[in-house]
């Protein structure tokens, strides 16, 4: 008994010190947004001698209801559970009363949940506070792929970003502008936030079927274990896949996490790794065309970061982008940016990459849950840094505000990559404050990655195709004639109309 008591105390201490395993942080694209843990031991805060003076984000939309195919799977599971006579025990005792968490089928599948709207609003608030780039009353422009849930995410982001003050009586001020791009079409080529659809060769490099093969190694075993809690009904591998998906989705829709609780930690690790394989080989570094389709965004924002904030890009530019460039898109458009950057695909240890199709290696840094969770994002921050940290004793002269860190005439520029807020070092270029990369080194790194990515038109097999382009110009041309953009103003002037009592 004494030994048992000691073991329980130790288990409690471990849970308190290290936190319990959370399936919602291992659910890949079904994960609610969370800040990814540091995989490289780098503090995510801005170094004390630095200030971020510009940044570029590419963001997945917020949490949504299921797509039609997944929704059909949920309905099939519900029908199976309701059309049988059985007894459910233990962790499955809730199944006879479970109903599909969609109560307005014509309007909910495909679209944002209220949680997704809240996630986007909060991101707007957080980035406004973090960077303080936009003076009160200034208008602010963002870019979004044109599917409704993406445009809605960008609009809720703007509502959060511009939520301070009272500008209802000032229609020209404090307005957000969404530049919406054609979504998942084949005629905008690289000038898009969904460029893989404009690259005919891209699908030929997709070997994400490895994920399906891997799922076959564990889903049947899980079904056999769960069937011990059922008398008169048998779950199969397909049911297991649907139920694990429901953990994250139902948590986002209604806060119900009962599906999360019925699977064991190792089963969640297998589920997550299947998603890792899907994204690594489908749209990430394992697809030889991913860097090609991710590079135009990287090249465009690198050009902006390498120039002064809010400076004209020159040439054929028709628009000066803000110091914070926000791009909203879908999950499959984030791994190509990772591939273009050349990160999360190398290791000092042999055998980690390319990812094994049959066995998860705990040493891997490519983790789908840390990238393509709802509202997952890749960010590039430009740091302006003094040579030394601020002194612990600062003299103030009456009437003069002391210059902030990183704003001196001799401040140097650096770049840091953040993925779901965690800092990821540029390979071979982490000598700056906070493991950042000196701007000159980052530009050289991007140029080298451009050689790896290759020319978009040539690699995608678009030679001779009218209007085919490998350039993304949407941030400096508004609207973009090639991409056929449209704009949305949010919030609308006079959107709040008093109603008589």
Burial class (CB in 10 A: 0-12, 13-18, 19+), 90: exposed
Alpha-carbon dihedral 360, 362, 364, 367, rounded to 10 degrees: 80
Q: 3-class DSSP state for residue 1?
A: coil
For 327, phi then psi, to 5°, come to: -120, 130
For 384, phi then psi, to 5°, come to: -110, 120
> What token pair was written down for 319?
């628009």
Pairing relation of β-strands 486-490 and 412-419? unpaired
For 404, phi then psi, to 5°, come to: -70, 160
Say if residues 152 and 112 touch (Cβ distance below 8 Å): yes
> What token pair was written down for 310?
């809010």
User: Which of these is catalytic: 183, 239, 245, 331?
Assistant: 331
Cis upstream peptide for 226 (omega within 30°): no
CA distance 288 to 272: 23
In the residue annotation, 26 being an active-site residue is answered as no
> What token pair was written down for 34?
């969370």
Pairing relation of β-strands 324-329 and 230-231? unpaired
Pairing relation of β-strands 176-181 and 377-385? unpaired
User: Which of these is catalytic: 61, 275, 377, 445?
Assistant: 61
> What token pair was written down for 420?
């779901």
CA distance 302 to 382: 10
CA distance 153 to 147: 10
Burial class (CB in 10 A: 0-12, 13-18, 19+), 155: buried
Residues forming the active site: 61, 331
């Amino acid at each position: 008994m004494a030994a048992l008591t000691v073991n329980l105390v130790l288990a409690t201490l471990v849970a308190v010190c290290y936190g319990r395993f959370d399936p919602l942080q291992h659910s890949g694209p079904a994960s609610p947004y969370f800040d990814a843990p540091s995989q490289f031991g780098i503090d995510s805060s801005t170094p004390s001698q630095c200030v971020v003076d510009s940044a570029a984000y590419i963001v997945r939309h917020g949490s949504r209801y299921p797509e039609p195919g997944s929704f059909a799977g949920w309905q099939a599971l519900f029908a199976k559970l309701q059309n049988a006579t059985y007894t459910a025990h233990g962790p499955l005792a809730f199944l006879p009363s479970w109903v599909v968490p969609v109560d307005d089928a014509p309007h909910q599948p495909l679209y944002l949940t209220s949680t997704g709207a809240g996630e986007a609003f909060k991101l707007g608030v957080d980035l406004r506070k973090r960077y303080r780039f936009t003076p009160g009353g200034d208008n602010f422009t963002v870019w979004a792929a044109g599917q409704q849930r993406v445009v809605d995410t960008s609009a809720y982001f703007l509502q959060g970003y511009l939520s301070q003050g009272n500008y209802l009586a000032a229609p020209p001020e404090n307005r957000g502008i969404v530049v919406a791009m054609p979504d998942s079409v084949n005629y905008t080529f690289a000038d898009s936030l969904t460029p893989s659809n404009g690259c005919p060769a891209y699908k030929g490099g997709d070997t994400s079927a490895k994920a399906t093969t891997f799922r076959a190694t564990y889903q049947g075993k899980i079904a056999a274990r769960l069937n011990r809690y059922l008398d008169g009904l048998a779950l199969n591998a397909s049911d297991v896949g649907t139920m694990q998906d429901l953990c994250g989705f139902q948590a986002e829709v209604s806060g119900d996490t009962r599906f999360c609780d019925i699977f064991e930690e190792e089963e969640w690790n297998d589920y997550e790794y299947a998603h890792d394989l899907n994204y690594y080989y489908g749209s990430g570094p394992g697809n030889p065309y991913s860097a090609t389709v991710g590079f135009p965004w990287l090249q465009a924002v690198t050009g902006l970061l390498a120039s002064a904030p809010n400076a004209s890009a020159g040439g054929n530019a028709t628009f000066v982008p803000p110091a914070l460039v926000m791009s909203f898109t879908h999950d499959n458009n984030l791994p190509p940016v990772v591939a273009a950057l050349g990160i999360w695909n190398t290791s000092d240890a042999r055998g980690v990459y390319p990812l094994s199709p049959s066995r998860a290696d705990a040493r891997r840094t490519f983790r789908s849950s840390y990238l393509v969770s709802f509202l997952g994002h890749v960010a590039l921050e430009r740091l302006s840094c003094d040579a030394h940290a601020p002194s612990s004793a600062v003299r103030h002269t009456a009437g003069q505000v002391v210059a902030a860190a990183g704003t001196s005439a001799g401040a140097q520029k650096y770049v840091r990559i953040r993925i779901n807020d965690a800092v990821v070092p540029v390979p071979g270029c982490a000598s700056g404050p906070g493991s950042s990369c000196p701007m000159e080194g980052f530009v050289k790194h991007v140029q080298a990655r451009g050689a790896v990515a290759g020319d978009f038109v040539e690699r995608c097999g678009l030679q001779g195709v009218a209007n085919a382009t490998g350039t993304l110009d949407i941030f400096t041309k508004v609207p973009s004639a090639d991409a056929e953009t449209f704009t949305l103003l949010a919030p609308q002037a006079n959107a709040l109309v008093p109603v008589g009592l």
